[in-house]
A and B are shown apart, each in its own frame.
Chain A
Amino acid sequence: MSAFITVALIVLVFIIIYQIARASEYATIIRGEEKVKANTNRTIAILLVISFILGLYGIWECHKYLVDKLLPVSASVQGDNYDFMFNATLVVTGIVFLATQFVLFYFAFRYQSTEKRTAFFFAHSNKLEILWTTVPPIAMASLVAIGLRNWMAVTSEPPANTQKIEIVGKQFNWIVRYPGKDGEIGKRDFRKIDDATNILGLDWTDKHNMDDVIVPNGELHLVVNKPVQLLIGSRDVIHDVGLPHFRMKMDAVPGIVTTMWFTPKFTTDEMKKKTGNDNFVYEISCDQMCGKGHYSMRGTVIVQTQEDYDKWMASQQPYYAQVNAAPAASTKTDSTKATVTMR
């Protein structure tokens, strides 16, 4: 019943608005159409100018309100280049935006129809066309140049001392695998996956797997100032490793291994100080729609000093040892629950 009344009310309001609007049109005819048309045109021109000024003011207010809510300083070396390029693009497009919008609204006001005015017949000008066919490509070329340089840099081969870590997405959390003491990530096969005893399907005939450490709660531990390459995979559908603080992102596609590498600049603790937020945490967001739990597919990155990292790594038991000593495993998987409950 209440829904019916609501709908009826809305319809009623519309009818009233329409009747008022219609009455104003009839009034127009009575008062002399031409004169009213001229008045309306002037009013609209003024309204357009007001919209433009309010718009500029709105942009200013919006910026003031939101600028503190943006990301803190880039946490990776590659992110610095990103920020520079973003700002350069922002300046170029910002100038074009303001200039063209100003011209649009200025012309609207300046050339509004009046009785005296006649339009100037101006059908084409090769000079002008050449001007605006050549200037944009020049501006674009510089942006493309910066872009391709950065793109080459982030997609290039990582340096030799790069730490390799595997991260695998599944509905709806991340599993991280560290290579262990031998520094090699062993083979895996999706047919060997078993949620209880082999969550990534490690191939136990490959001896590189024996010392691999698996952290099933999506906690990615990195060493500050040491380049890291992520080998990204997926167990089921497409996911995406999104690292906003590092300005990085790469899809996790079942059947193929994708990669990305970067160099973290600040430890989590340093970042807490920089942002003044004690709860600060680097987050991994899934950025590719992956099902009903997509919004809760959260991982975390913990950037540490080499010393802290080594200490943490020493406390981890290789996955092989874990699953082959069942009683010990139960204490180890406590941290899993933290992310699982987010579903």
Chain B
Amino acid sequence: MSQEIIIEGPNVEFSQGEAAHHDHEHHEQHFIWKYIFSQDHKIISKQFLITGMIWAIIGALFSVFFRLQLGFPDSTFPIMEKFLGEWAKGGKLSPEFYYALVTMHGTILVFFVLTAGLSGTFSNLLIPLQVGARDMASPFMNMLSYWFFFAASIFMFVSLFVQTGPASGGWTTYPPLSALKEASLGSGVGMDLWLVSMSLFVVSSLLGGLNYISTVLNMRTKGMTMTRMPLTIWAFFFTAVLGVLSFPVLFSGLVLLIFDRNFGTSFYLSEIFINGKALPHIGGSAILYQHLFWFLGHPEVYIIMLPGMGMASEVLATNSRKPIFGYFAMIISLVGITLLAFLVWAHHMFVTGMSPFLGSIFVLLTLLIAVPSAVKVFNWLTTMWKGNLRFTPAMLFAMGFVSMFISGGLTGIFLGNSALDIHLHDTYFVVAHFHIVMGVSAFFGMFAGIYHWFPKLYGRFMNNTLGYIHFFVTFAGAYLIFWPMHYEGIAGMPRRYYDYSAWESFKQFQSLNGFISIVAIIVFFTQLLFVFNFFVSIFKGRKMTNKNPWGSTTLEWTTPIHPGHGNWPGEIPEVHRWPYDFKDDGHGNDFIPQTLPLREGEEAH
């Protein structure tokens, strides 16, 4: 390896006393090792972020295509043929490709954007910087984590171009539909590529997660006790724990599916007659896959939510100029959510014919999640109470996060109760619920993070005016899109339909679907505006002149404006206090950085 600075353990000074030559040395690093196969957590973080953004644009563009079909099933859009060719002959999407787009939209956004793009970016950027470490526990594994994700991305991207189309059985890819090539076009090569891609993704996620956990546990600087860690770190830590414990289960589920597809086993298949012939499979259980899938699938929701929660906590406190309210209650509620996340997976399966008694247990456990969630919401609100609120774009998105989390969380109370789920299951109510809570809300957490830490990433600011436009259009747009969808769900309108016009019970929503599609397209272009703002600001944004532009207490703002590999040019600072001391420091500032020793007579938090 071309890098000499491999630091072991916390509080270690540069090995071989190289501190003075540190900057100099980086100039000699070859471009490839510095920016491509980099082991610097900050560069890897940018790689995850930018790859995630590219995927987000692709995933969102897919939603625009299928919203055109849903909103205007009688019209043709020749521009779609330009993009999709045979799949949208004459400008009309084929049903097969409609389902492929829906499937890819889900897979891309859930896994590639809101898991890799979110955790990958912010765990990488913030864990070493906020706990006071020179880099991850294993920078090499960290690099591998990105490159496995990159490989997964390649496979998924290639699957978009195979002749039979990408996987099209929904992002959950339930067998037998996904297991039998006869059942659907998308269950051909596209499905194999999906499985390979997702398996690589699991590897990437595990490499990353193990690294995050060991960095948080072992690499904290002197004085950084666990209870002095910012809530972001707590959130990333539990996110990683969730991923490490649940992704292997998904992996096992995927391997069994690969066997069923290619090697004639019958894990998920039983008594099937398709395409004019009876298949030899007997004794498998299609429900088994659903258990394995949702054992990851539900924690996955929290893998997506927790980073947003952590970042919203941090941004809300900083911009309210107040400590986060109930720091310990926030940690305990994170623990509660993490534990419960493993005990509720079967609430996705109330109507699969699962034992009703088991269903009741899962109702109880599911609705228990309301308790830690409520604690978090009330603590965020109390954090704002009597604050001195600065509405930076990051702050607005953090507040939007809270608003969306409340709305989406409350509809979860309907769905978690099996007796209500029996009607609402797989309707637009579900679509509205999870898009608000783990789509929009998680994205708002991510946007809050990007606007807030952009100066740390690039030493410049993003444009504020565009940030405000981005927030208000997205916030209003998200409610305009998803609020009315609840009504469609209450009316029983099933999700994943290509066309509702033949249905007496659902066709009255046609004009509403058109409205939703138009708003969705406006919101899509607003997100492009954000992407544009992001990339232009990297080169043209207002330069940062102050190391700590937001008046934050945490360690990442004690590094130079452009930190090199190793983060701090001299010794790693020592931590003396908790991360939310937003109070008068006696010199006219309204915050005290973690690095300042307690004053005489001052009590630790």
Contacts and interface: CB of A to CB of B under 8 A. Distances in A.
Interface in A128-149: 128-129, 132-133, 135-137, 140, 143-144, 146-149
B250 interface: no
Contact of B504 (A121, A281, A296): A281
Contacts of A140: 367-368, 370-371, 413
B268 to A, nearest CB: 9
Interface string B4-23: 00000000000000000000
Interface string A167-198: 00011000000000000000000110101000
A85 B420 contact: yes
Contacts of B427: 287
Contacts of B417: 85, 89, 143-144, 147
How many A residues are at the interface, by size bracket?
35 or more
Contact of B399 (A92, A104, A250): A104
A190 B273 contact: yes
A279 B278 CA distance: 39
A85 B426 contact: no
A292 B371 CA distance: 41
Interface stretch (B203-211, B238-246, B253-261, B404-412): B404-412
A244 B491 contact: yes
Contacts of B286: 238, 253-255
Interface string B306-342: 0000000000000011110111110000000000000
A155 B328 CA distance: 42
A235 interface: yes
B363 A148 contact: yes
Contacts of B605: 123
A103 B323 CA distance: 19
B161 interface: no
A284 B402 CA distance: 38
Contacts of B419: 81-82, 85, 146-151, 154
A302 interface: no
A118 B529 contact: no
Interface stretch (B49-57, B188-196, B380-388): B380-388
B364 to A, nearest CB: 6
Contacts of A211: none
B106 to A, nearest CB: 11
Given A69-B509, A147-B419, A18 B466 contact: yes
Given A40-B391, A285-B494, A144 B363 contact: yes
Interface in B356-397: 356, 359-360, 363-364, 367-368, 370-371, 374-375, 377-379, 381-382, 384-391, 396
B274 A235 contact: yes
A339 to B, nearest CB: 10
Contacts of A103: 381
A80 to B, nearest CB: 12
B528 interface: yes
Contact of A293 (B95, B378, B382): B95
A3 B81 CA distance: 11
Interface stretch (B124-132, B151-159, B472-480, B560-568): B472-480
A130 to B, nearest CB: 10
A117 interface: yes
Interface in B254-283: 269-274, 276, 278, 282-283
A182 B466 CA distance: 73
Contact of B494 (A21, A66, A85, A286): A286
A245 interface: yes
B177 A14 contact: no
A107 interface: yes
A253 B352 contact: yes
A195 B582 contact: no
B364 A144 contact: yes
Interface in B82-103: 82, 95-96, 99
Given A132-B378, A245-B505, A283-B505, A238 B177 contact: yes
B487 interface: yes
B370 A240 contact: no
Given A129-B329, A255-B271, A44 B378 contact: no
Contacts of B528: 10, 14
A122 B413 contact: no
Contact of A242 (B183, B326, B426): B426
A107 B381 contact: yes
A143 to B, nearest CB: 6
Closest 8 CB pairs of A and B: A244-B492, A255-B270, A258-B353, A155-B356, A150-B419, A120-B386, A295-B497, A21-B465
Given A40-B464, A123-B323, A136-B374, 6 more contacts: A18-B533, A40-B391, A58-B479, A89-B413, A122-B386, A293-B95
Interface of B: 79, 82, 95-96, 99, 168-170, 174, 176-177, 180, 183-185, 269-274, 276, 278, 282-287, 320-323, 325-329, 351-353, 356, 359-360, 363-364, 367-368, 370-371, 374-375, 377-379, 381-382, 384-391, 396, 399, 402-403, 406-407, 410-411, 413-414, 417-420, 422-423, 425-427, 463-466, 468-469, 472, 475-476, 479-480, 483-484, 487, 490-492, 494, 496-500, 502-506, 508-509, 512, 525, 528-529, 532-533, 536, 540, 542, 580, 582-584, 590, 605
24 contacts: A3-B79, A10-B528, A18-B532, A21-B464, A21-B469, A51-B475, A51-B476, A82-B423, A111-B384, A118-B590, A122-B322, A123-B580, A133-B329, A140-B370, A140-B413, A144-B417, A247-B422, A255-B272, A283-B505, A289-B170, A290-B177, A294-B496, A295-B498, A298-B502
